[in-house]
A = this chain, B = another copy of it.
Amino acid sequence: MDINEEELLEATNKKGFKKIFQFNSKQKIQLQGGYINPEDTINLEEGEVITASDGLKYHIFKPTIHDYIMYGIKRQTQIVYPKEAGYIILKLDIRNGKVVGEAGTGSGSLTLIFSELVSEKGRVITFEKNLDFLNNARKNIEKFSKLQNITFVNEDFINSNYENFFDSFFMDLKEPWFYFEKANKALKGGGNFGLIVPTTNQVNQSINELESNNFLVDEIVEIFHRKYKINPNRLRPEDIMIGHTGYLIFAKKIK
């Protein structure tokens, strides 16, 4: 495989087990039952099979951003999952060249997605007052991405002083309403604002406070993913599904 020393790889088997590891790891990679040695992947092409020590076969891939976030990052906080992140991208208009803000950084999963999608011409500024979280997020992101478009700010967003600066802003904070005035000021006119909160009480309070802080509330939405077992002769949904992560709220800065 055409890979550099630091490259991330993913081993996955037919049962859906996935493990993400670094090519240059000196250690054996423990899989479901057995293990593989990273250096044994050196002559493989993407998609090829490697046999683990217990005889189980694994395909080797470079991980997608989805899989890296689900299985590769180190989590110190609850993360915003791809099922929500995908919709956030489109609602907040995160794309080529945009300037995006985020508070807080958490484990950096959304930060990484924003960075990849605004590309070289774009910019991401992310605020996290907890230095441990911020350092962890930075490491998570650097392992996956070479883009240099993120500014990590170790500060509570409440202390920032941006004005008419961001095209879009996303907030994942416990009492987000305390930050709405700041966010409004920091956004450009017509800028896109999004937040996630876990309870209906927080939705109620957020809507009230957005409306009194020059935001036009655009949408309150929950997102569900219903997965099916991969068996075409007995096609049926998984027995258990995620019943709740959070309510997404989207608004636009008005004047």
Query: Taking the complex as formed, is A93 at the interface, i.e. its CB lies under 8 A from any CB of chain B?
Result: yes
Decide: B117 and A93 in contact? CB cutoff 8 A.
no
> Is the Cβ of B217 less than 8 Å from the Cβ of A230?
yes
Does the CB pair A204–B220 fall under 8 Å?
Answer: no
Point out the residue from B86, B189, B224 that lies within 8 Å of A46, measured CB to CB: B189
In the complex, the answer to whether B48 meets A203 with C-beta atoms within 8 Å is no
Q: How many Å lie between the Cα of A205 and that of B233 in the bound state?
A: 10
Separation in Å of the A218 CB from the closest CB of chain B? 8
Complex interface residues of chain A between 104 and 136 (CB less than 8 A to chain B): 113, 116-117, 119-121
Other CB < 8 Å A-B pairs besides A90-B113, A96-B147, A237-B244, 17 of them? A12-B216, A45-B189, A47-B189, A47-B252, A66-B93, A85-B90, A86-B86, A87-B87, A96-B119, A117-B117, A119-B121, A199-B234, A201-B235, A219-B230, A221-B226, A240-B240, A241-B242
Q: Could you list which residues of chain A lie within 8 angstroms of chain B, going by C-beta atoms? A: 12, 14, 16, 45-49, 59-62, 64-66, 69, 82-83, 85-93, 95-96, 113, 116-117, 119-121, 147, 188-192, 198-201, 203-205, 207-208, 216-245, 247, 252-255
